[in-house]
Amino acid sequence: MPTSQPSRRIVIAVFPDVDLLDVTGPAEVFALANRETGGRAGYRVELAGPTAGPVRTAAGVRLLADLTFDQVAGLVDTLLVPGAVEPGPDGFRARIDPEVVEWVRTAAPSARRVASVCVGAHLLAAAGLLDGRTATTHWSTAAQLAADHPAVTVDPDPIFVRSGRIWTGAGISACMDLALALVADDHGEELALAVARHLVMYLKRQGGQSQFSVPLSSPPTARRDLDDLRLHIAEHLDGDLSAAALAARMCLSERHFARVFRQETGSTPAAYVEAARVEAARRLLESTDQPLDRIAAACGLGSVETLHRALRRRLGTTPAAYRRRFRTATTTG
């Protein structure tokens, strides 16, 4: 008689105006893990809400809660808590629903692990689960989380953070990265990467990677000429991007240029250029089999030694280690 596979019960909270992708994204990851293993991954997803039946999400699409919060009984492998937002005086804020918070507080102790998606971290914090821990959330509500919960160390940059059995994920599409990390924690990197390939996710990002690319982390400035210069940097990474060359392009003295650039971007010209070059090198490491010397040259880093130093400084890893971890397909020819 065949041995039955262990079941990993995933309970996802759903409630009015919950973000749709925060629920369906992880559910799809777990379903694909089951499909990839012929069911051996053992994931079983249930949706629990204040009431059973239809739940209207922020996208207007209705989900169907399988059971009420009160009906969640027995062992839970993973308690997954998404979030919802509401308008505030200074933009959108995370919504704190007392009923959801109370259920999370009572249900969390019986779960093997607890994870929040996006602004769901605010619900975990309100339930007291993040005190003394480091956590992340969507960058737009990180300040709210820090202000409301001073006992929580809020890091708005990572894709996800693990603190013991508590996981917190960043915003929107990062729910997929968090779910893939949970799969990797359960069954290893190979299965997580196989699922990523099915999802056509070209990169399975690790938790320490930033929510932002170099352009996203530096919003448009008050100067059109400086925004044009940043575009020039992105398009000419293998060119002369020294402070002197960039200052000359803007018809400014090098000293005045450095002061203006830092004031507008929060970065020195040299640091900005290196970050842009490292990001380009990352993309080539993720998506090509080019040798390191060609990648270094294409990104303006000059030599393999400089590429090594830049990645160690920016990412804490080597080019070879980065490529091994983040390549999701092998090029054959």
C-alpha distances in Å from residue 82, one per residue of 19, 99, 206, 264, 283: 7, 14, 20, 35, 30
> Does residue 211 register a pLDDT over 70?
no
Across 120-134, 226-240, 250-264, 313-327, least confident range: 313-327
From the number of C-beta atoms within 10 Å of its C-beta (0-12, 13-18, 19+), residue 248 rates as middle
| 226 and 290 together in one domain | yes
**CA 318-275-224 angle, 5° bins:** 165
304-315 vs 319-326: helix crossing angle, rounded to 10: 60
Q: Please tell me the pTM assigned to this model.
A: 0.66
Domain that holds residue 255: 214-326
* 184 falls within a domain: yes
Q: Which helix (H) or strand (E) holds 79?
A: strand 76-81
The amino acid that residue 218 corresponds to is S
Residues 54 and 193 in one domain: yes
Position 203 in a domain: no
One domain, residues 227 and 165: no
Within-domain flag for 163: yes
Is 61 part of a structural domain of the chain?
yes
Tens-place pLDDT, residues 79-91 = 999 999 998 887 7
Query: 48 with 149, same domain?
Result: yes
192 and 229 assigned to the same domain? no
Structure tokens at 168: 């917190």
Per-residue three-class SS string for 17-57 = CCCHHHHHHHHHHHHHHHHHCCCCCCEEEEEEECCCEEEEC
Domain of 293, CATH number, reads: 1.10.10.60
Residue partners of 40: CB distance under 8 A and separation at least 6: 5, 34
330 pLDDT band, cuts 50/70/90, is very low
Q: What is the mean pLDDT of the chain?
A: 87
Range scoring the smallest mean pLDDT among 28-32, 160-164, 170-174: 170-174
- At 202, the pLDDT band (50, 70, 90 cuts) reads very low
The last residue of a domain, from among 168, 198, 228: 198
Please tell me the total count of domains within the chain. 2
Mean pLDDT is lowest, of 20-29, 131-140, 283-292, for: 283-292
Query: Residues 185, 41: one domain?
Result: yes
pLDDT of 253 above 90? yes
- Whether 249 and 116 share a structural domain: no
User: Strands 85-88 and 76-81: what pairing?
Assistant: unpaired
Query: pLDDT tens digits, residue range 143-161?
Result: 999 999 999 999 887 888 8
Q: At 160, which CATH number?
A: 3.40.50.880
Tens digits of residue pLDDT in 259-310: 999 888 888 999 999 989 998 898 888 778 899 999 999 999 999 999 999 9
Q: Residue 197: its pLDDT value, please?
A: 82
249 and 302 in a common domain: yes
The answer on 276 and 186 residing in a single domain is no
The verdict on residue 204 lying in a domain is no
Least confident of 32-41, 56-65, 77-86, 163-172: 163-172
77 & 117 share domain: yes
In a domain, 223, yes or no: yes
Q: Are residues 113 and 141 located together in one domain of the fold?
A: yes
Query: Is residue 69 domain-shared with residue 113, that is, in the same domain?
Result: yes
CA atoms within 13 A on the CB side of 133: 18
What is the per-residue pLDDT for 326? 59
Closest CA to 117 of 7, 10, 6: 10
Listed residues 198, 228, 253: the one ending a domain: 198
Query: Which of 156, 164, 168 lies closest to 216 in space, CA to CA?
Result: 156
The answer to whether position 40 is within a domain reads yes
- Residue 233 located in a structural domain: yes
